[in-house]
Structure 1
Amino acid sequence: MLRALEIRDMLIIDRLDLAFQPGLNVLTGETGAGKSILLDSLGFVLGWRGRADLVRQGADQGEVTAVFDLAPGHPARAVLAEAGMPEADELILRRINTSDGRKTAFVNDRRASGEVLRGLSDVLVELHGQQDDRGLLNPRGHRDMLDAFGALEVQRSGVRAAWRAMGAARAAVVATEEALEKVRAEEDFLRHAVKELDKLAPEPGEEAVLDTRRRAMQGAERIRGDIARAFELMGGEAGEAALGDALRWLEGVSDKAEGLLDEPIAALNRAMIELGDAQSGVERALDQMRFDTSELEAAEERLFAIRGLARKHAVAPDDLAAHADALRARLAALDAGDADLGRQRAELKAAEAAYDAAAEALGQARRQAAQALDRSVMAELAPLKMERAVFATDITPGEPGPDGRDAVQFTVATNPGAPSGPLNKIASGGELSRFLLALKVCLTGTDSGRTMIFDEIDRGVGGATADAVGRRLEQLAAGGQVLVVTHSPQVAARGAHHWRVAKDVKGGVTLSSVVPVAAAGRVDEIARMLAGDTITDAARAAARALLDG
């Protein structure tokens, strides 16, 4: 509910504080007094796109503040949560417009974008008028209104679930088809590559082992001859035999040398031992370096094959085994793909059938709800002196979507036999007002806490018809809040709260003011609306009769 509206330096308003109430709030005043400025200002703070020159002449900036009370579960709370703003029972919107056109908005004293304001506006306020393009005249919202009237949310949710399931099934089929198409395009390559890799059967780490063994054999081939010649020399005349002969000669005469040969003989014994160790070590080395040349050739051939495949597949040699597994998996997917695709296509067909059934059931429910809505609106048109008019909810096939495959539009024919068409194309101003009001009365139960604003919706009607309009506005306001800008005394008399908009010239400056109209003042204001500038006793009597009625 809109509780307060504060306007500072906007158009011809310097300062204005309004405290609105639940029920029917009426605003009256002479043409040009500034009633539309109130709506312009409210639209400004709600982020509506409107006129740019809002700042009062001579002021640096204009400012509008709107205060709303939010009931628990009000849709505005979800908008605030999505915008990352705290929720509260009181919602304060404030927007500033500088004289150079810059606009700044705040929601509960936190900076907010125009998008957030418009999101809140959609759930806070509903504007209706003869040039209404945000509410009932917009065909894009007619299907939602019909579904709300018919309480079809459960069936609509079922259609949405079926649409999502169908979309998921279709996406799975497309993904499998694309994957299979891609794999089939390279099937020959895959089979050849897997065969080649399986034949070689490389193992992780094998390339490094082969490389080390190859280098060892290549090195052994180069140095083994020198080692063998050294070994031969160790065992020849200059080797162990020569040292043995020298040792025997020295030992044969050592007892006659009076100890002079003891140390040399001991050294030769040590040399014999060291020489034996050297011969054993060299012999072991020769054994280890002994290899078959065919083994070197085989190692080199396998090493080069592994490295060649790694380059061919652009992977590291150690990753060839894993790469082969991946290629085998792609081949397995190709072999199993047809079966998977067949299963997925069957699932898609079932999902499409489920969506068709849910959409058809929703469409049938909509047609039944449309008949009920048409009867309800027609019943409301008779008291509004439009008993010859025809209202019809037109349901035609539309593009399938998450909300079904029905296109819904409200149409009217102002006289029997006349062609029907969209509301805003067929009805005149006064007729359109009454159509909108009748439709809104029938849809009242579908509202969710919005403040409804009617801008001169009673234009072009009077007498008993205007009285019927007023009574229906009063009915709409029961349990909620309705703001009406009106020139009709019959409508103004039905208001629970009354404000008068006036325009005065002070010091050469035109300013607009809004003042609450008390009980006695209401008689004079409604009399003025009946009689014009000169208020007569008869006009006052008629005003009292309206207020008492």
Structure 2
Amino acid sequence: MLRSLSIRDFVIVDQLELDFGSGFGALTGETGAGKSILLDALGLALGGRGEAGMVRVGRERADVIAEFDLPEGGGLRAWLGEQALPVEEGCVLLRRTIDVSGRSRAWINGVVVTLAQLRAAGEWLADIHGQHAHHALLRADAQRVLLDAQAGAEALVAEVGARYRDWQRLARLRLEAENDSASSARERELLAWQLQELDELAFDADEWAEINAEHGRLAHAASLMEGADETLDTLGEGELAVCSVLRHLDARIASLADIDPALGDVRELLASAAIQADEALHALRRYRDRLDLDPQRLNEIERRIAAVTDMARKYRVGVDVLPELREQWKARLETLEASADPERLAADEARARRDYDAAAERLSAARRPAAEVLSHEITEAMQTLAMAGGRFEVALERCEPGAFGVESVEFRVAANPGQTLRSLAKVASGGELSRIGLAIQVMTSRASETPTLIFDEVDVGIGGRVAEIVGKLLARLGEGRQVMCVTHLPQVAACADWQWRIAKREQAGETVSEVTPLDREGRVEEIARMLGGVNITSTTREHAAEMLGQRG
């Protein structure tokens, strides 16, 4: 569950440090007091959309930190390990900042992460049902996603989509081969000829480096030979050969060092110089023996270099790109040759279609029981939400194969006894939509493993006895997990295990939001305010106390 929430400089929040309890909690207060702002801040910490307008006026940065219990089951723990993120014992710490330029940063357990990683972690920890969620349920894609989540079929949906795209790709290849066989034949012929050219060239990157080095030696052979001969003459073959002079000087200083040991260091330096000069002389002789003028070999190498550079120039690429160009042509030729074989293309397309059909059938098999269970549960919930005799159905209708399977998903409802089931988007009035939408959210959340569920004014459009029933539904949901609800309904707030009042106040000429945890006396006052408005009477307080006494 959510343990604590720290908010700084977020919209009208100056600084808040909040500790949360388990069970069902109600967040109440006057309209515009900032109740939903708290959930917006939490949503930011969970990876929600951020923008510069979230930063409190006059501040540089908004900062939100949310601490959660590490859920049991190990799913999030394993994910943290896969992402090479630290696993804190018993808790998960999410942090998000937004600066005045709109730039965002995110952390998990103190380590900088991407927004996608923050969002992925948040999905393990909390679900936020917004106040406009009812209207989203009118969209066919939202209905399908909700059913697939209930069926635990998200992986199957992804597989069906991948199979569908593969099947369609192969179908396009077959059609292209049928409709453009002449141009494909010309392209195949051209590619085959180009590949033959490159194969005959037999370009090799290692060989290219070697012949360029050899060309440099051969092209400058005369200069190399002249320089080597001059150095050999100076070192060991001339009248004043350096090696001979150094050996003579070494011997002379050695005899003097016998007289004066102070010359020992000089003698060692001369001896070392003589040895190194001799080594240089021998190395240079070996080099000179190998060095020779070879005009024929030079011509061969120059022709080879010209052939390679001409080929690269012809196709307007660098020499080093020739091997990559050959692989591209080869892959394209293989594709064209495959497309020139109609039997093979048809067989590949048929295989892909069979793979798609099998995956789509598995998806359908997962959807059918989930649709039945959801239809039954929502229908039962409607009976308690002032819609006695109403019915709800998740209808699966066969359709053309697509990326999401072979059936459409449609929520249908009959709000009153004897009515025909019709599309939710066409039938439900505003109040009915609120009640049905709330029932759907509560029932689907009940099947979810997410430990924290948050409802932001989802009870809009209901009241009276129905509001009390909704409050009890949320309270039952809170028996197994942490549930929070932003509400204006006293009947819902009275069913909560704990309650906070959110209000605005003036501070140093600025408007700030404050949160007050309420004891029983405070709850009576707040619920009385929700019941009676500005003028709270003793009767209103008695009614509020009675509602709290009936909780559960």
Q: TM-score, normalised by structure 2?
A: 0.62
Whether the aligned pair in 2 keeps the contact of 1:180 and 1:337 (CA below 8 Å) is no
**Partner residue of 2:304?**
none
Q: Distance in 2 between matches of 1:32 and 1:402?
A: 43
Q: Secondary structure at the match of 2:512?
A: strand
Q: Distance in 2 between matches of 1:446 and 1:38?
A: 26
**Partner residue of 1:71?**
71
- Residues 77 and 429 (structure 1 numbering): CA distance in 2 closer, same or farther, change over 3 Å? farther
- Residues 132 and 82 (structure 1 numbering): CA distance in 2 closer, same or farther, change over 3 Å? farther
Q: Secondary structure at the match of 2:474?
A: helix
Whether the aligned pair in 1 keeps the contact of 2:499 and 2:523 (CA below 8 Å) is yes
**Partner residue of 1:466?**
467
Bigger mean CA deviation after superposition, 479-488 or 138-147: 138-147
1:15-67: CA deviation from partner (whole Å, max 9, x where unpaired): 11111122211111111211122122222333322664222233333221111
- The code of the aligned residue for 2:43 comes to G
Q: Distance in 2 between matches of 1:23 and 1:175?
A: 61
Q: Distance in 2 between matches of 1:427 and 1:338?
A: 52
1:359-381: CA deviation from partner (whole Å, max 9, x where unpaired): 34643653454233222211101
Q: How far is the alpha carbon of 1:449 from its aligned partner? A: 1.8
- The code of the aligned residue for 1:498 comes to Q
1:493-545: CA deviation from partner (whole Å, max 9, x where unpaired): 11112111122224433221101112232222222222223333322322222
Q: How far is the alpha carbon of 1:106 from its aligned partner? A: 2.3
Q: Distance in 1 between matches of 2:104 and 2:188?
A: 60
Q: Distance in 1 between matches of 2:104 and 2:161?
A: 39
Q: Distance in 1 between matches of 2:135 and 2:73?
A: 24
Whether the aligned pair in 2 keeps the contact of 1:148 and 1:446 (CA below 8 Å) is no
- Residues 170 and 389 (structure 1 numbering): CA distance in 2 closer, same or farther, change over 3 Å? same
Q: Distance in 2 between matches of 1:184 and 1:167?
A: 25
Matches within 5 A, 1:295-310: none
- Residues 20 and 78 (structure 1 numbering): CA distance in 2 closer, same or farther, change over 3 Å? same
Q: Does residue 33 of the first structure (1) align with residue 30 of the second (2)?
A: no
Bigger mean CA deviation after superposition, 362-371 or 167-176: 167-176
- Residues 53 and 356 (structure 1 numbering): CA distance in 2 closer, same or farther, change over 3 Å? closer
Q: Secondary structure at the match of 2:53?
A: coil
1:229-259: CA deviation from partner (whole Å, max 9, x where unpaired): xxxxxxxxxxxxxxxxxxxxxxxxxxxxxxx
Tell me, which stretches of 5 or more residues in structure 1 are unaligned?
195-309, 315-332
- The code of the aligned residue for 2:13 comes to I
Instruction: Give the number of equivalent residue pairs.
Output: 423
Matches within 5 A, 1:140-155: 140-150=141-151
What percent of counterpart residues are identical?
41
Matches within 5 A, 1:238-277: none
Q: Distance in 2 between matches of 1:363 and 1:186?
A: 43
Q: Does residue 94 of the first structure (1) align with residue 95 of the second (2)?
A: yes
- Residues 185 and 10 (structure 1 numbering): CA distance in 2 closer, same or farther, change over 3 Å? closer
Whether the aligned pair in 1 keeps the contact of 2:3 and 2:69 (CA below 8 Å) is yes
Whether the aligned pair in 2 keeps the contact of 1:64 and 1:95 (CA below 8 Å) is yes
- The code of the aligned residue for 1:24 comes to F
Whether the aligned pair in 1 keeps the contact of 2:71 and 2:451 (CA below 8 Å) is no
Whether the aligned pair in 1 keeps the contact of 2:174 and 2:339 (CA below 8 Å) is no
**Structure ID, larger Rg:** 1
**Partner residue of 2:527?**
526
Tell me, which stretches of 5 or more residues in structure 2 are unaligned?
197-306, 312-333
**Partner residue of 1:12?**
12
**Partner residue of 2:55?**
55
Q: Does residue 441 of the first structure (1) align with residue 425 of the second (2)?
A: no
Q: Distance in 2 between matches of 1:137 and 1:69?
A: 34
**Partner residue of 1:406?**
407
Q: Secondary structure at the match of 1:370?
A: helix
Q: Distance in 2 between matches of 1:188 and 1:40?
A: 61
- Residues 172 and 7 (structure 1 numbering): CA distance in 2 closer, same or farther, change over 3 Å? same
- Residues 130 and 15 (structure 1 numbering): CA distance in 2 closer, same or farther, change over 3 Å? closer
**Partner residue of 2:127?**
126
Matches within 5 A, 1:170-209: none
Q: Distance in 2 between matches of 1:139 and 1:368?
A: 19
1:323-357: CA deviation from partner (whole Å, max 9, x where unpaired): xxxxxxxxxx9xx9999975785575355345435
Whether the aligned pair in 2 keeps the contact of 1:66 and 1:92 (CA below 8 Å) is yes
- The code of the aligned residue for 1:495 comes to A
Whether the aligned pair in 1 keeps the contact of 2:87 and 2:109 (CA below 8 Å) is no
Q: Does residue 371 of the first structure (1) align with residue 372 of the second (2)?
A: yes
Matches within 5 A, 1:412-423: 412=413, 414=415, 417=419, 420-423=422-425
Whether the aligned pair in 1 keeps the contact of 2:434 and 2:458 (CA below 8 Å) is yes
- The code of the aligned residue for 1:27 comes to L
Q: Does residue 494 of the first structure (1) align with residue 504 of the second (2)?
A: no
Matches within 5 A, 1:328-339: none
- Residues 460 and 136 (structure 1 numbering): CA distance in 2 closer, same or farther, change over 3 Å? closer
- Residues 78 and 166 (structure 1 numbering): CA distance in 2 closer, same or farther, change over 3 Å? farther
- Residues 109 and 432 (structure 1 numbering): CA distance in 2 closer, same or farther, change over 3 Å? same
1:436-480: CA deviation from partner (whole Å, max 9, x where unpaired): 221123323431225221111222322210011001111222211
Q: Distance in 1 between matches of 2:56 and 2:108?
A: 23
Q: TM-score, normalised by structure 1?
A: 0.63
